[in-house]
Amino acid sequence: MRKRLLSWFSDNARDLPWRRDHSPYRVWISEIMCQQTQVATVLPYFERFLSTYPTIRDLADADESQLMRMWEGLGYYRRARSLHAAAKKMVEEHNGEFPESFDDVLALPGIGRYTAGAIQSISRNKAFPILEGNTQRVFSRWIGLTVPPTEKVAQARLWELSDKMLPPRKADDRSNGPAGFNQAAMELGALICSPRSPKCDECPVATMCHANQMGLQDEIPGKISKVQYESRTELAVVISRDDRYLVRTIPEGVRFAGMIDFPRAGPPEAADVVGMESWLADQLGGDVRIGMCLKTIKHAVTRYRMTLHVHIGEWIADGDRVAESGPIPDSWQWATVDELADMPMSVTGRKIVRLLDRPQRSLFSEL
């Protein structure tokens, strides 16, 4: 089975940048970026990221705002902060080098058992098993495992299989060693052994696959509980002064922490426009008056289906509109559209910026 799989991979492997240069640093970045993100989406980000931060020390020294701007659009921003923290730890504890031992790799922020094994096996050809979305589906079908792969007993069985399937390490033979096998198994899941309608007629190991033999490839892996999405409505407010807009740095412990955003809140802080006016008044001082809705944006964030209503607003203090030069609380600032272009923002925050960057943006200062 290994021989067939590795032969297929040799002929069908995608040309990916972290396969051309498989240093631990590059493999690490690719693995973190590819978590819950499609490879096609990752590719341009990976190239830009490595161009900006070519070494661990460069990443450790990165300005956090620039780093988050570089990550913008990939989502799950905690991954970027974990990369930054891990790079700093490697500079402090490993002289800026990627650690050699599995335990030291596992101790880095943002790295679990799968990622540590992937880095060690793919970059260094060490015999560590890996189990992620693609391989747990592939392995489940190989052995006809009808138990959902997320269950504890199934996880134990699949990790055991992943370990036993590894070829012996040959120091100079990456293609037929653990590096080749682990990548081949992931590639099979990505290209052939898909969640629905797998291409069994193109699979190099179909005749050895229990699911294929029993006609259960559509039932295996067993059903995984689907995420129950919750609906959530939030409000964002555009407050302008002379072509500048009021934004804040999102505090720690809040979604998108460390990024720049327009005033935004939802339940329980602000269930409606009146609640938003009250919440913003507490944040800024004075009174905030919310006017017309500019746009409604629908999007998804983790387990939420979000509806964001973007409104025009006024900030009033001592009976007058607050001037751009007036005092504002810490973490808040006035910024032009051009300045916002260089600041890290969420996808919806960037959509609001594009809305403001239209020719009619002078309208905002008149309303």
Determine the 3-state secondary structure of 287 from DSSP: strand
Distance, first Cα to last Cα, the chain? 69
Q: Which is catalytic among the residues 31, 187, 234, 277?
A: 31
Determine the 3-state secondary structure of 244 from DSSP: strand
Q: What's the CA gap between 39 and 16, in Å, rounded? A: 9
Determine the 3-state secondary structure of 238 from DSSP: strand
Which pair of structure tokens corresponds to residue 317?
């203090």
Taking a C-beta distance cutoff of 8 angstroms, is the pair 141, 220 a contact?
yes
Q: Is 219 a catalytic residue?
A: no
Determine the 3-state secondary structure of 307 from DSSP: strand
Taking a C-beta distance cutoff of 8 angstroms, is the pair 266, 233 a contact?
yes
Q: What's the CA gap between 77 and 88, in Å, rounded? A: 17
Q: How far is CA 315 from CA 263, 290, 310, 355, in A?
A: 12, 9, 16, 20
Q: Which residue is associated with the tokens 């094994």?
A: 117
Residue type, position 77, single letter: Y
Q: What angle do CA 330, 260, 323 make, to 5 degrees?
A: 50
Q: How far is CA 146 from CA 29, 134, 150, 154, 313, in A?
A: 34, 16, 11, 9, 56
Taking a C-beta distance cutoff of 8 angstroms, is the pair 154, 67 a contact?
no
- CB under 8 Å to 358, separation ≥6 — which residues? none
Please list, residue by residue across 313-327, b when 16 or more beta carbons sit within 10 angstroms of its beta carbon and e when fewer do: bbbebeeeebeeeee
As annotated, the active-site residues are 31
